[in-house]
Structure 1
Amino acid sequence: MDLQVLRSFQAVAEGLTVTEAAAEARITQPALSRALHRLEEEVGAELLQRVGRVLRPTPAGRVFKEYVDAALDSYDRGRRAVAEVVDPDTGLVSLAFLHTLGTWLVPGLVTGFREEYPGARFELHQHGESGLVQHLLDATADLMITSGDPGHPLITWRRLLVEPLWLAVPTGHRLARHRRVRLAEVADEPFILLKPGYGLRSVTEELCREAGFAPRVAFEGEEVQTLRGLVAAGLGVSLIPSSPDTAATPRFPIRYLEITDVHGARDIGIAWLTGRALPQATRRFIDHALRASANAPDGRW
């Protein structure tokens, strides 16, 4: 069974047309159609069926694809492992990270690592918390950097830093002249929050509970930049992670206030599947991230 045929089957089952999959494989469309037909004969079942102008996996095809995904992933990991034995300094680090960390933490870690290992390559994925865990479980990433320990029995997590959370209010807000406030002071105001399932949403709700109230939700977004934009527009207040770019600008006329009645912060850490044998470059990156965090107690590097 040809690995390229399996890759083409995988691509078609995931939504590519046969013509597109054939172009990726650098063969003709009729040749790929014949190869997929031979694959079905080998497996002993119809794997793909036409729905309109495209092919979709049959029930048998969906079951078979799970094993194809696992086989191809294992093969690709084997090739990576061999390549790193031959030249460990040019290994690939497959990293998924929380979208809010893409403006400061991840670039700093990647830059520092590549200064030590210039030949290292990165495969990056950006997502919310739930999507990051799935990247590890699906083996589409070896590592993730996220907020809080996911608490999954198959995942090992190590803290890198504690990131402060600030109360973001519009510059014209009644509290904007203050530096420090109690979170309870905005108990009656509308909150701009991330959607349920995001770690920052859970942290915000927990901090509000500690302050004695449940946040009144005005809007639910999918990224922190959206929260900032709607706070700047005067539609509510929000708890925003601290990072080097959290400062008032003409585009984001916001004041960031320290909260004093609850501990406004979240843990940021690095995680991997406990039982997976990690490539050498990946293990080196874990060590690099942990050293960087130990040498930067204020969470900045």
Structure 2
Amino acid sequence: MELLQLQYFLEVARLEHVTEAARSLHVTQSSLSKTIQRLEEDLGVPLFDRTGRKLKLNEFGSRFLRRAERALFELEQGKQEICDLSSPEYGTLELAVTTASTLPNILSAFRVKRPHVHFHVQMLTTQEMVTRLDRGEVDFCLSSPPIHGDDIECQIVFIDPILVAVPKGHRLADRSSVSLTELSEEWFIGVKKGYGTRDLVDSVCQSVGFVPQYVYEGDEPARLSALVEAGIGIAFIPSTARNEREQLTYLQVEDHEIIREIALLWHRSRYLSRTALEFRELVIEYFDALSK
């Protein structure tokens, strides 16, 4: 059994389609099919049920997938550990976030501390984040809401109040607070469903008898303030995303405490390099200072 066979098997199992898997792996379909066929011959059983070029994992394939994922995960962890030992001043960090408002300050502080470390950040929905974390594809996640699981370490690092942002000249702009029921006829700017803050505020609004009407739904939280400032609608904005330089008024919610918990997540089984440990320490220290 070869490492290449396992890597090809995982990609086919993920996509369940020969053509798409071959394109993703940058190999020919015939080469991919032959590699999977050799793996099945080595194991003595078929791993997929086939309908044309579409494949579906059967019971043999589903059981073998769990073992193959674990084997490749351990090999990747070994590779990272060796890299960490051989070049401790360098390294990489794979990050995923559902909340990005504090990220610029955190990354800026970390770059000063470790200027040679390369990091890559992805903005994901909660479910996408869980999937990447389970696969070992990210080192850390900054998530709201917190995510709990058998293989996930979850440390809540900050309690973040949710405010209502309105543009200057809005009927509520001279207020410091507002009740949710007063917002029932407003147009809203927000992120798409699946992001923690959106799901949270939708649930709270529904509990008082209305469903927010959105004129804009996106996946870039940083853009919300600009759209509110332009008078397109109002928005629920976490306090950590508040920007005093913008022409906005931020209102407290009177009758409900709307807060989001920001959590730092990592995989219990994943090797944490010295770079990763330093990043975790910096994140915790940053939010500790923000809480004071």
TM-score band, normalised by the shorter chain?
A: 0.7 to 0.9
Gaps of 5+ in 1: none
Change (3 A) 1:82 1:239: same
Q: CA deviation at 1:258?
A: 2.0
Q: CA deviation at 1:109?
A: 1.9
- The answer on whether the counterparts of 1:163 and 1:265 sit within 8 Å (CA) in structure 2 is yes
Q: CA RMSD in A?
A: 3.6
- The answer on whether the counterparts of 1:191 and 1:216 sit within 8 Å (CA) in structure 2 is no
Matches within 5 A, 1:99-248: 100-101=99-100, 104-152=101-149, 154-176=151-173, 178-184=174-180, 186-190=182-186, 192=188, 197-205=194-202, 208=205, 213-219=208-214, 221=217, 223=219, 224=221, 237-243=234-240, 246=243
Change (3 A) 1:111 1:185: same
Percent identical across equivalent pairs? 25
- The answer on whether the counterparts of 2:202 and 2:212 sit within 8 Å (CA) in structure 1 is no
Rounded to whole Å, the distance in 1 between the matches of 2:150 and 2:65 is 26
Change (3 A) 1:185 1:92: same
Aligned to 2:13: 13
Rounded to whole Å, the distance in 2 between the matches of 1:21 and 1:227 is 34
- The answer on whether the counterparts of 2:96 and 2:140 sit within 8 Å (CA) in structure 1 is yes
Q: CA deviation at 1:45?
A: 2.0
Change (3 A) 1:132 1:214: farther
Change (3 A) 1:40 1:143: same
Q: CA deviation at 1:182?
A: 1.9
Rounded to whole Å, the distance in 2 between the matches of 1:112 and 1:213 is 41
Give a deviation string over 1:152-185, Cα, whole Å, max 9, x none: 4653333434434221235553213x15122246
2:248 counterpart (232, 248, 255) = 255
Q: Give the TM-score, by structure 1 length.
A: 0.75
- The answer on whether the counterparts of 2:145 and 2:263 sit within 8 Å (CA) in structure 1 is yes
Q: CA deviation at 1:69?
A: 2.1
Q: Give the TM-score, by structure 2 length.
A: 0.77
Q: What is the identity, as a one-letter code, of the residue corresponding to 1:88?
A: P
- The answer on whether the counterparts of 1:179 and 1:258 sit within 8 Å (CA) in structure 2 is yes
Gaps of 5+ in 2: none
Give a deviation string over 1:219-260, Cα, whole Å, max 9, x none: 3845346766775686754312245675787xxxx7332215
In structure 2, the residue corresponding to 1:89 is in which secondary structure?
coil
Rounded to whole Å, the distance in 2 between the matches of 1:153 and 1:82 is 27
- The answer on whether the counterparts of 1:94 and 1:282 sit within 8 Å (CA) in structure 2 is no
Rounded to whole Å, the distance in 1 between the matches of 2:227 and 2:239 is 17
Q: What is the identity, as a one-letter code, of the residue corresponding to 2:213?
A: A
